[in-house]
Amino acid sequence: MADWPAERLEAVADEQETPVYVIDLDRIRENLGRVQSAFPEADIHYAVKANSGSAVLETFATAGVGAECASAGEFERAVAAGFPTERILYTPVNPPQRDLDTVLEYETEPLAITVGALDTVRRLADRGFTGDVAIRIHPGTGAGHSDSVATGADRKFGIGIDRVEKAVELVTERGMTVVGVHAHAGSGILNPEDVSSHREVVETVAQVVNDLDQDVDFVDVGGGFGVPYRPEGDPLDLAALADSTRDALDSVSGTLRIEPGRYLVADAGLLLTRVNTVKPAGEELLAGVDAGMTDLLRPALYDAYHPVAPVGSMTDREKRSVSVVGPICESTDVLATNRRLPAPERGDLLAIGMTGAYGIEMASQYNSRPRPPVVAFEETTSREIRRREQLEDITAPETDR
């Protein structure tokens, strides 16, 4: 995290108070550039659920990539951010009625609706949909940073290989067109082992496409490109991932589609938080901070590691083992454990790194906590792109007040 400018971060924390998210739009563009160079032939769709802030979406829309949307809300926000509907893939899982109705009400349809169940096909047909459909398969293997995100191995997602033929028949029978096959291995593909699990998933997709009686316009191998959250971690070998994807799809015609989310935005974000309480706990120090699991859920949800660094110089301090804990009444409200950090003091500013993906996006209002603001860095400018919520933002929907 050493490459973030401390004075700018301090200025943001002073102006906005803490906790506050920072997102660097230039870094997002650099990340996208690397994916574009590794996959020059691929049609890239940014997975909106990683970070759906309008400034982030506009950055991608302006760059000309498409959007992959998991819900009607994401679909509408992508349209509002300037993605033409023919650049949007709608990939809902068990979509609520309201979601299907909303998306189908748009005058122009999304590029393709990805279906993961025969019932979804029937529900689209019942609404008179006669557009393009991609079949999401359940490849039976997955990959990812934790079992809870190894989507490809989870029965919840996709149609079993043995039911694909039936799904295609049903789609055709009901007047829709199968234009693609989709699979998403999971999230956080990082080491060579993950790359080979991903390859297995892609090979399964290739097999399914080859077994179809028809050609498809595209083969979508999902996202899941990982980033090293630990400072000592090696970055994903994008070239190796691209080569193995290409290799596995050798026998298949149709455009390659990829849907990275995390890879494009994770390292472009920081969460700034201030220490308000320090207390000893055995050999350790507990640093109580003003950000918690409501602002950054990943440590509580997946036991995820996020780097923590002091902002500004604290080189004169003795290093101690420190755990960083939040203000929420839950024992899982721990942002970091056992880190070697300069002994924290009240008022210190800490940066929690790699929070551009699934950070503000997963934030909640639990404990009646208004969600934090977001400031965007672009070249040398900083601007607020989301204000801090107020208590009123939490209570406004209550109808019997």
Ligand X SMILES: *Cc1c(COP(=O)(O)O)cnc(C)c1O
Q: Which of 25, 28, 47, 236 binds ligand X (CB under 6 A)?
A: 47
Count CB-CB contacts under 10 A for residue 304. Answer: 18
Establish if 228 lies at the interface with ligand X (CB under 6 A): no
Count CB-CB contacts under 10 A for residue 330. Answer: 13
- For residue 83, the SS3 value is coil
Window 81 to 120, contacts with ligand X (CB under 6 A)? 91
Q: Name every residue whose Cβ is closer than 8 Å to that of residue 382 and which is 6 or more positions away in sequence.
A: 8, 11, 12, 375, 376
Establish if 298 lies at the interface with ligand X (CB under 6 A): no
**Cβ 220 to ligand X shortest distance, Å:** 8
**Cβ 183 to ligand X shortest distance, Å:** 9
Q: Which residue has the tokens 């990275």?
A: 260
Contact predicate 269/355, CB 8 Å? yes
Sign of the alpha-carbon torsion through 151, 153, 155, 157? positive
**Cβ 24 to ligand X shortest distance, Å:** 18
Nearest residue to 260 (alpha-carbon basis) of 54, 89, 130? 89
Question: Rounded distance, CA 372 to CA 316, Å?
Answer: 31
Q: Which of 24, 25, 35, 49 binds ligand X (CB under 6 A)?
A: 49
**Cβ 298 to ligand X shortest distance, Å:** 12
Establish if 44 lies at the interface with ligand X (CB under 6 A): no
329, 392, 397, 401: which one is catalytic? 329
Q: Which residue has the tokens 């406004």?
A: 396
Contact predicate 312/289, CB 8 Å? no
262 or 369, CB closer to ligand X? 262
Quick one: which H or E segment has residue 342? strand 334-342
129 or 263, CB closer to ligand X? 263
Contact predicate 356/269, CB 8 Å? yes
Q: Which of 92, 95, 180, 261 binds ligand X (CB under 6 A)?
A: 261
66 or 326, CB closer to ligand X? 66
47 or 275, CB closer to ligand X? 47
Window 159 to 188, contacts with ligand X (CB under 6 A)? 184, 187
Nearest residue to 246 (alpha-carbon basis) of 42, 14, 399, 98? 42
Establish if 132 lies at the interface with ligand X (CB under 6 A): no
Establish if 260 lies at the interface with ligand X (CB under 6 A): yes
Q: Which of 74, 194, 259, 348 binds ligand X (CB under 6 A)?
A: 259
Establish if 66 lies at the interface with ligand X (CB under 6 A): no
Contact predicate 342/314, CB 8 Å? yes
Q: Name the segment binding ligand X (CB under 6 A); options: 42-50, 229-237, 309-317, 319-327.
A: 42-50
**Cβ 354 to ligand X shortest distance, Å:** 13
**Cβ 357 to ligand X shortest distance, Å:** 6
Question: Rounded distance, CA 163 to CA 159, Å?
Answer: 6
69 is catalytic: no
89 or 336, CB closer to ligand X? 89
Q: Name the segment binding ligand X (CB under 6 A); options: 43-51, 271-279, 287-295, 332-340.
A: 43-51
What is the widest separation between alpha-carbon atoms in the chain?
Answer: 73
Q: Which of 60, 75, 218, 225 binds ligand X (CB under 6 A)?
A: 225
Question: Rounded distance, CA 263 to CA 266, Å?
Answer: 6
Q: How many chain residues bind ligand X (CB under 6 A)?
A: 18
Establish if 219 lies at the interface with ligand X (CB under 6 A): no
CA separation (Å) from 210 to 162, 177, 206, 252? 14, 17, 6, 7
Site residues (CB under 6 A) for ligand X?
47, 49-50, 68, 70, 91, 184, 187, 222-225, 259-263, 357
Give the residue numbers marked as catalytic: 329
